Chains A and B, each alone.
Chain A
Amino acid sequence: MEREKVITTDRLTKRFGDFTAVDAISFEVEKGEIFGFLGANGAGKTTAIRMLCGLSIPTDGKATVAGFDVYRQTEQIKRSIGYMSQKFSLYEDLTVRENIRFYAGIYGKSNRFIKDKTERLLLQLHLQEEANKLVKSLPLGWKQKLAFSVAIFHEPEIVFLDEPTGGVDPVTRREFWNMIYEAAEAGITIFVTTHYMDEAEYCNRVSIMVDGRIDALDTPRNLKQQFEASTMDEVFLKLARKATRAGE
């Protein structure tokens, strides 16, 4: 039986003047899947994500996110997704607890919900003692894990992670990926971009964008077979070398 599709795109395109940033990409993401969205800088990843998050209206093609249309239902899309960017997205001058409260508050969650879930979360992250400390006093790895927890705090259907592990040490990255797996098991779909090819191996399926198009899309194992490579790194390099566009 086929699983539920939470993201579908059909020849989704974005042009800026003469420049086609995203060129007719079509793919589907299933519920609870960890979907790796790879590509060199300038390949069009960010533009594609912006369209899927309802921040940018496509030029052409169709797409739905969590069942909502990216042209007309951006408001509903925003309610159903979480987002964590490559830049660190918590407020450094607010405490851990205040950050959680604020983000949960802007998603309109009830005080009761926020209170209960905050305690559980602090316990999970072993942050009970740091709950009332300013975020800037935490080590980067903790901040990153906290940022991820905050991004899925309002229980979205899909979470978009834009290079979430940039600048983090390997141990923390491993822990971070454990959190991603947990979230996926809880039914949250993960849409992740990364430059670390070992992370690409952790994904259920991976798509690789080159010059605005999706040139490859399959499980890491099948991609390696298809491109006769032993690692995802080789797969990526074989594809990215074909790119004609300069990086950002």
Chain B
Amino acid sequence: MKQFLSFVKKEFYHIFRDHRTMFILLGMPVVQIIIFGFALTNEVKNSRIAVLDMAKDEASASLINELEASRYFEIEKYLLSYQEVEAEFKTGRIHMAVILPQNFSSDLLHLNTAQVQLIADASDPNMANTLTNYASAIIMDYLERITDGRKLPYTIKTEYRMLYNPQMKGAYNFVPGVMAMVLMLVCTMMTAITIVREKETGTMEVLLVSPVQPLKIVVAKAVPYMLLSMVNIATILLLSVFVLDVPINGSLLLLVLESILFTLTSLAFGLFISSVTNSQQTAMFISLTGMFLPTIMLSGFMFPIENMPGILQYISNVVPAKWYYIIVRSVMIKGTGLATVWKETLILFGMLLFLLFMSIKTFKIRLA
């Protein structure tokens, strides 16, 4: 036990002496939450649009008012002719143009139908999609209001509810993703690097010649990163609850336990990497390409797995972050319990055992 404690203490010295790394480790979750929370958002706010109102009547004016009143759009310019539309897009000042035809009001009154043209800048397809959807929704709302009482023949009203995330906030999606990313980075990469560093400097040789069991060396190395990860989880959860207003709907205890499970899996992966590599560069490269990229790409956090080609869907199954991401989303956002995530939990647990087994085995082979 005394051996073990001197070891853990030494690992903490390594971490605390390296101010830059420590700053990155503890600052990273904060920076990522801020970047994802405020900069990298899919939500549309105050998007600049141009309006070409050829009708200039009561109905067109009130529809334009509706658009302007919403927090999604801001009217940058009123255009006078159709020719101006493209020129305006080319300046890059607007993302969408709304065009109301000459007889908007009368068509609406007499024919019960009127046309509005939405032209969006689809050089950013997601943005274009979102904007036209929002605009259509506002127009539908408006239509509903003015036709109130006078039922139109054959209309199907769609009514939708956005479950778990009524305001469609991006934060609900990326908070679980950031948690997976940060834990993976801290645990896998840092553990791998710190062990390989001892091989590089030659201190590992001295440790192996000492009476400390190799397993103890490795566990002692993992402990500080485990604690650091707990601090990171706490930071992320506090930031998401108090800054981004993302609630923790499920059990906090379950969330923390699942996070510990994922942390252990990442640590085991780091150990495995360290037992098959001999230089810090290689260790870093393997952790980044082997774990960090798949975590971003294949966990379902950036891109929906359902839309991927079959082979990538299969590959995504071996990415631990995918399962952790599903668990966190279920527990934190949907508020479900172990009953719904037991399968994912078991898969993570299996991965943990497999990685531990593999790293201990390779470690032993190297010793013989």
Residues on A facing B (Cβ under 8 Å)? 53-57, 75, 78-79, 81, 83-94, 98, 101-103, 105-108, 134, 151, 160
Contact = CB atoms under 8 A, between A and B. Distances in A.
Contact of B205 (A85, A93, A94, A106): A85
Q: Is the interface of B mostly helix, strand, loop or mixed?
A: helix
17 contacts: A56-B368, A78-B210, A79-B211, A85-B205, A87-B205, A88-B201, A89-B202, A89-B203, A89-B205, A89-B206, A91-B14, A92-B201, A93-B13, A105-B2, A105-B3, A106-B6, A160-B209
Contact of A81 (B6, B9, B14, B209): B209
B1 to A, nearest CB: 10
B140 interface: no
A87 B203 CA distance: 8
Interface of B: 2-3, 5-7, 9-10, 13-14, 17-18, 201-203, 205-212, 367-368
Given A88-B201, A94-B10, A53 B209 contact: yes
Nearest to A56: B368
Contact of B201 (A55, A83, A87, A160): A87
Given A55-B367, A93-B17, A94-B10, A75 B202 contact: no
Contacts of B209: 53-55, 78, 81, 83, 160
A33 to B, nearest CB: 20
Contacts of A53: 209
Contacts, number: 77
B367 A102 contact: no
Contacts of B17: 93-94, 134
Contacts of A90: 203
A106 B368 CA distance: 22
A95 to B, nearest CB: 9
B279 to A, nearest CB: 14
Given A87-B202, A91-B201, A103-B210, 11 more contacts: A55-B367, A87-B205, A88-B201, A89-B201, A91-B10, A91-B203, A103-B206, A105-B6, A106-B207, A108-B2, A108-B211
Contact of A88 (B6, B7, B202, B367): B202
* A-B residue pairs, 10 tightest by C-beta: A87-B202, A105-B6, A83-B209, A78-B211, A93-B17, A89-B206, A79-B211, A102-B10, A85-B205, A106-B3
A98 B7 CA distance: 11
Contacts of A83: 205-206, 209-210
Contact of A93 (B6, B18, B202): B18
Contacts of B208: 55
B365 to A, nearest CB: 12
B206 A85 contact: yes
Contacts of A151: 206
Contacts of B211: 75, 78-79, 106-108
Contact of A106 (B14, B18, B202, B212): B212
A108 B203 contact: no
A93 B17 CA distance: 7
Nearest to A55: B208
A98 B10 contact: yes
A87 to B, nearest CB: 3
A98 to B, nearest CB: 6
Most buried by A among B201, B202, B211, B367: B211
Given A85-B202, A89-B205, A98-B13, A57 B210 contact: no
A83 B202 CA distance: 12
B6 A101 contact: yes
A93 B15 CA distance: 10
A144 to B, nearest CB: 13
A151 B206 CA distance: 9
Contacts of B5: 105
A102 B192 CA distance: 21
Given A55-B367, A89-B205, A106-B6, A94 B13 contact: yes
B219 to A, nearest CB: 14
A151 B209 CA distance: 11
A87 B9 CA distance: 23
B368 A57 contact: yes
A151 B207 CA distance: 11
Nearest to B208: A55
A98 B12 CA distance: 12
Nearest to B209: A83
A56 B6 CA distance: 26
